[in-house]
Structure 1
Amino acid sequence: MSPKSQRVRVVAAGLALLGLVATGCGSSTGTSSADAETLIVFTGQSGDYQGNFNPYSPTVNEGPGTIFEPLFFFNAVKRDAKPKPRLGKEFSWNADGTELSVTLRDDVKWSDGQKFSAKDVVFTLDMVRKNNTMNSTGYRGTATAVDDTHVVVKFDEPAFMEGPQVLGRLWMVPEHLWKDLATPATDPIKTPVGTGPFQLDESKAQAITLKSNPGYYGGEPAVKKVRYLSLSGNQAGADALKAGKIDWQTGPVPDMKNVEKNYPGYKAITIPQNQTALFTCSNAELGCAGPQTDPAVRRAIYHGLNREQLNALAFQDTSSEISPGFALLERDQPYISAKLRDKSAPMGADVAKATQQLESAGYAKGPDGIYAKDGKPLSLTLKVVSGWTDYITAVNTIGQQLQQVGIKVTPQQLSWNEWSEQRNQGNYELLIDAVDQGPAADPFYTFSYFFDSSNTARVGETANPNFGRMKDAQVDAALAALKRINPEDTATRQPHFDVIQTRIEEVMPYIPVLTGGTTSEYNAKKFTGWPTQDDLYAFPAIWSRPAHSEIFMKLKPAGK
């Protein structure tokens, strides 16, 4: 899923809905066959599910990868991983990268019994190209169905980097049902029809249940049902784990270093992947308003953060250093620019550098210790989702840290829907979120998603997903150049990566905090086949799409 996907974290403390787990969902350690084959997951969902299964909607509840499929699966964790066929069997480029040929499976049916064909692929690609808010990958190709199982996608210029996006991040939808949708980017899909390994079984406000697709071309999954729960809080999630009532959650629990001891039968895995940042509505020309539109303020915040303290207090030391150029320090090491001022963001605060940034930009400290300019105090609101306990701790800590710099930060908790809407529309000064990765293990995709001006919009309009509203001609030109270069030509690519990373560090629409250590706790006693550090066949996060569907298909009830 592109970064517009719903990101969820373990929610605020409370036990009100634990009874739902215990009485409404059945014990995941029960002896019945149905219990043994039902995977119960907690994504961190707080509040009611809205029953939206449109895979292109910013507020989709579920569907990408499970109900609606891409053509191929690309593993974004490992640089050397080969694409895995899904609806597609094989693909190839012509010599200059202007033509992508795809061979499809010939044994696929939609869940309503209609046959899947190349016409559905062409329809989907055309639909995405015509709807900018659906087109988070920046797809600009022209697709043609050669016959029922062959599609050719032509581009006006070399487009090698489009491959993993077109093949791995666009969800195929049925032409015979979607052709009559008036606004496919936003229409909620209540009764989804897909080709995937799962179908919708039941949708309720507090739980969504998927059932295995008996006609799935890859064979019916051994996991017969996947039940998504909405719980009241962190303690409810931890208690549900303790009681064996949920089988997989991604997010923090108390004492994460000792999961196997504290939750018998469960194991945990932590992968450094998504990058925690303070998102800023940075561009005054696009309608952003507030002190954060001043690059000096953003850089002062950058230097004023004590990341070591944040990691200890908010993230149980599961996070790690982050590059101000937003390439992953471990996975993307060959691409890290040597021209960055800081290879990684400083772990300690530098109050002197922070105040120097402000004073050189004309700010003066008032009698209350807060800087001001033109009579306006340097005061900012930092939005966070109510219940994101690790992030709430982080923003409270950040507020205290920046007080020492002379910046007043007021945390504001919102529901996920409110927070998401304000992020999308640009109605915020600061918010805490994560910069996601793309379909393949290459920093180009993060750069193209979050920093390309074609993926942003004026305040009041939906950005997708350049929420920081960065609009930089140098970055746009470098991204355009990278699209045309064969990814194997590393020497030719690097100067463009240098431009992008140094401009990101300079402009800083997203203030880097830490590389988040994404931790999942899973029931290893009930199911086998989970990803491990030695076999990272997919990114192990319940909210990561379509990686989660790969894991669902790999899992088997213990003993089978």
Structure 2
Amino acid sequence: VPVTEVQTVVVEKEVEVVREVVSAVPRNKTVVVGTRFGGGVALRMWSPYALGGTHQKGVIFFHEPLFYADSLNGNSYPWLAEDFSYNAAATELTYNLRDDVLWSDGEEFNAEDVAYTFNTLAELGSEVRGGGVFQTFIKEAEIVDDLTVKVHFNFPAPRFHAEVVIYKGDSGTYIVPEHVWNDKNWAEYDAYNDGAGPVTTGPWRLSYSDNFRRVLDRVKNCEDYWGCATGFVPFQEVERYVLYNIDDDTQFAQAMITNQIDETHDLRVDTVETILRENPNTTTYTGRDPEGEYGMVSWWPISLHLNNLQPHLDNADVRKAINKYIDRDRLNAQAYLNKGRINDWPWPQYAGLKHVNEAMEPLRQEYGVGQYDKDGADALMTEAGYSKNSDGFWADANGEIVKCNIISSAHFTDLGPVVAALLEQHGIESSWAQPPDVWARNGKGGDYECTLVGHNGSQSGDIYRSLLMFTTDSGANRWSYSNAEFDSVVASMAEEPDVDKVLDLTEQALRIWLEDQPDVPLVEFFNRVTRNEYYWENWPGDAPGYEPYMNGIHPHTGFPYILSKLEGTGRE
């Protein structure tokens, strides 16, 4: 991707503005990331629970977890908690907390804060972000003593810790200080605190914030952060963390090539190759090898979401035909230059789910999951009463054609046009667009025909959370799919602690799902970010000389852990 002089000037002007903000800390003590704010971010919003809030955009740095996790490789790192355990029936979950942890205002962190967080989420439910699952599962979080919390469930919840509590990807439970939040309206409280930022157990403080950049500073001394003061972790080298908005791949490339930023957001393959070619200090999760995939497999596998309420797309045979019309090998070649990875299932191919894939292999073979089959698709369309019109599009007896016009975001400028072209070639009217209101339109019951989106589902253990998204009442059900039998099977999975029985229920649910085909899985989503080693080393990676200690990028919950591991190069 060539970088024009005009675009270079735009990027340099943005970087100069950031330099004015961060001038008090040397560049070689600062980590700068370029991120896609998506039209800006409210400068006062620093709460992960308020409606309209987020854990991204720096907010996660103020909420240390009970546990960090890296589901891609199966790593788990106890943090505010030392360990956890279930009772035999999986109706109770106990956390033993770490001693000598302090909040930034000097108050002790203890079981009261954890119990308060859990119980308040259960009480508020859907009134706040992430509260619904707590209201469903939790009867009470009991304070056993200052450092012990016992969570009592309404019914067996064997996957609550792994799926709800730990930090992985964009998921986790954010512990808040009871003495600060107990008189706040969680749905509205922004935690900005007149510019001081959230009260936190972490080493980061809010330094500056506006609609397009955020600056966080590490505490000055080891004794000011419990983790360092107690010897739990070394005092991290990064002194300042800056996020600033970058709008497109070309600007990302120029900022990385000139060492102005240390990590990009997700980029196209061709942009990554430009950066690696122009700056020898840059790398990716899989290194610089041109034979590699230039990224890490995300927890967000991508599919063509079909709106099951739309005309024609409400017909299971039409949905199954669309699935068969997609030649995924061609998709990978044209969209990703063969650097993508096909995924025929709506869950990521992570180490912790390998046993599920193996158990479901007979089902894959029986249904020909993911196979390109034009003749089979044509037969389904014909049997459903459709025929090709004079323009080559499938139409019903009234002449109404089947449409799958795709809307989505800038994440899919590579994938979207290719999917649309493949559908058009097989007689399904399709197009690709990036409307500014896409995230308002492509949700449950939304105004769209088709969309490209990932699945925030299971990452380890079993695929209950992935299947739950397709249940009738799920807020994550973008497809508006509804099947009472499927709902019943998935509900049975929620309370089943026996692994073998869960696999049996998984097979039952997937058989129903494959008969209905509400969704068209396509590929893994790769977090193709580039990282700069001019100022900072010890980034996680799956290449010779690197350790894959964390699968995550700066918007994700694991990034504070990554920042704590970075080592300065000493370059000026």
Same fold (TM over 0.5): yes
Displacement of 1:255: 5.8
Task: Report the counterpart of residue 199 of structure 2 in structure 1.
Answer: 193
Instruction: Report the Cα distance in structure 2 between the residues aligned to 1:18 and 1:394, rounded to whole angstroms.
Output: 26
Paired positions, count: 522
Instruction: Report the Cα distance in structure 1 between the residues aligned to 2:449 and 2:53, rounded to whole angstroms.
Output: 22
The structure-2 alpha-carbon separation of the partners of 1:264 and 1:491, relative to structure 1 and needing over 3 Å to count, comes to same
Q: 1:100 aligns with which of 93, 105, 110?
A: 93
The structure-2 alpha-carbon separation of the partners of 1:451 and 1:425, relative to structure 1 and needing over 3 Å to count, comes to closer
Which stretch shows the higher mean deviation, 167-176 or 131-140? 131-140
TM-score by length of 1: 0.84
Instruction: Report the Cα distance in structure 1 between the residues aligned to 2:450 and 2:239, rounded to whole angstroms.
Output: 42
Task: Report the counterpart of residue 522 of structure 1 in structure 2.
Answer: 531
The structure-2 alpha-carbon separation of the partners of 1:508 and 1:136, relative to structure 1 and needing over 3 Å to count, comes to farther
Q: 1:235 aligns with which of 221, 228, 250?
A: 250
Identity of aligned residues (%): 22
Q: 1:203 aligns with which of 199, 209, 212?
A: 209
Q: 2:146 aligns with which of 145, 148, 151?
A: 148
| SS state at 1:398 partner | helix
Instruction: Report the Cα distance in structure 1 between the residues aligned to 2:31 and 2:70, rounded to whole angstroms.
Output: 23
Judge conservation of contact 1:452–1:470 (CA < 8 Å) in 2: yes
Judge conservation of contact 2:73–2:351 (CA < 8 Å) in 1: no
Instruction: Report the Cα distance in structure 2 between the residues aligned to 1:242 and 1:346, rounded to whole angstroms.
Output: 42
Judge conservation of contact 2:58–2:555 (CA < 8 Å) in 1: no
Q: 2:79 aligns with which of 79, 82, 86?
A: 86
Task: Report the counterpart of residue 55 of structure 1 in structure 2.
Answer: 48
Judge conservation of contact 1:451–1:471 (CA < 8 Å) in 2: yes
Q: Residues 371-419 of structure 1: CA distance to partner in whole angstroms, max 9, x if unpaired?
A: 223443222331112x43xx1232222222111222111323123xx22
Judge conservation of contact 1:278–1:431 (CA < 8 Å) in 2: yes
The structure-2 alpha-carbon separation of the partners of 1:501 and 1:348, relative to structure 1 and needing over 3 Å to count, comes to closer
Q: 1:320 aligns with which of 332, 338, 341?
A: 341
Displacement of 1:207: 1.1
Which stretch shows the higher mean deviation, 247-256 or 343-352? 343-352
CA RMSD for the aligned pairs? 3.1
Q: Whose Rg is larger? A: 2
Q: How does 1:31-430 map to 2 (within 5 A)?
A: 34-51=26-43, 52-56=45-49, 57=51, 60=54, 61-63=56-58, 65-79=60-74, 81=75, 83-129=76-122, 130-132=124-126, 134-135=129-130, 138-139=133-134, 140-141=137-138, 142-168=140-166, 169-182=172-185, 184-185=186-187, 188-190=190-192, 191-213=197-219, 215-219=224-228, 220-253=235-268, 254=270, 256=272, 260-269=276-285, 270-273=295-298, 274-282=300-308, 288-324=309-345, 326=347, 328=349, 332-336=353-357, 337-342=360-365, 349-373=372-396, 374-385=398-409, 387-388=410-411, 391-415=412-436, 418-427=437-446, 428-430=448-450
Instruction: Report the Cα distance in structure 1 between the residues aligned to 2:334 and 2:9, rounded to whole angstroms.
Output: 26
Displacement of 1:539: 0.6
Instruction: Report the Cα distance in structure 2 between the residues aligned to 1:448 and 1:134, rounded to whole angstroms.
Output: 21
Judge conservation of contact 2:445–2:478 (CA < 8 Å) in 1: yes
The structure-2 alpha-carbon separation of the partners of 1:17 and 1:473, relative to structure 1 and needing over 3 Å to count, comes to farther
Which structure 1 residue ranges, 5 or more long, are not aligned? 1-12, 283-287, 457-462
| SS state at 1:102 partner | strand
Displacement of 1:250: 3.7
Which stretch shows the higher mean deviation, 372-381 or 427-436? 372-381
Task: Report the counterpart of residue 432 of structure 1 in structure 2.
Answer: 452
Task: Report the counterpart of residue 5 of structure 1 in structure 2.
Answer: none
Alignment partner of 1:505 is 2:521: no
Instruction: Report the Cα distance in structure 2 between the residues aligned to 1:15 and 1:49, rounded to whole angstroms.
Output: 24
Q: Which amino acid in 2 is paired with 1:401?
A: L
Task: Report the counterpart of residue 459 of structure 1 in structure 2.
Answer: none
Instruction: Report the Cα distance in structure 1 between the residues aligned to 2:464 and 2:9, rounded to whole angstroms.
Output: 40
Instruction: Report the Cα distance in structure 1 between the residues aligned to 2:547 and 2:468, rounded to whole angstroms.
Output: 28
Judge conservation of contact 2:67–2:81 (CA < 8 Å) in 1: yes
Instruction: Report the Cα distance in structure 2 between the residues aligned to 1:188 and 1:414, rounded to whole angstroms.
Output: 29
Q: Residues 267-324 of structure 1: CA distance to partner in whole angstroms, max 9, x if unpaired?
A: 1112223311122332xxxxx4443333223222211222223223322322112123
The structure-2 alpha-carbon separation of the partners of 1:160 and 1:532, relative to structure 1 and needing over 3 Å to count, comes to same
Q: Which amino acid in 2 is paired with 1:87?
A: L
TM-score by length of 2: 0.82
Judge conservation of contact 2:256–2:262 (CA < 8 Å) in 1: yes
Judge conservation of contact 2:103–2:199 (CA < 8 Å) in 1: yes
Displacement of 1:478: 4.0
| SS state at 2:141 partner | strand
The structure-2 alpha-carbon separation of the partners of 1:156 and 1:554, relative to structure 1 and needing over 3 Å to count, comes to same
Q: Residues 171-207 of structure 1: CA distance to partner in whole angstroms, max 9, x if unpaired?
A: 112333433444x346544443332342322211221
Q: How does 1:431-450 map to 2 (within 5 A)?
A: 431-438=451-458, 440-444=459-463, 446-447=465-466, 450=469
Higher relative contact order, structure no. (Cα contacts within 8 Å, ≥ 6 residues apart): 1
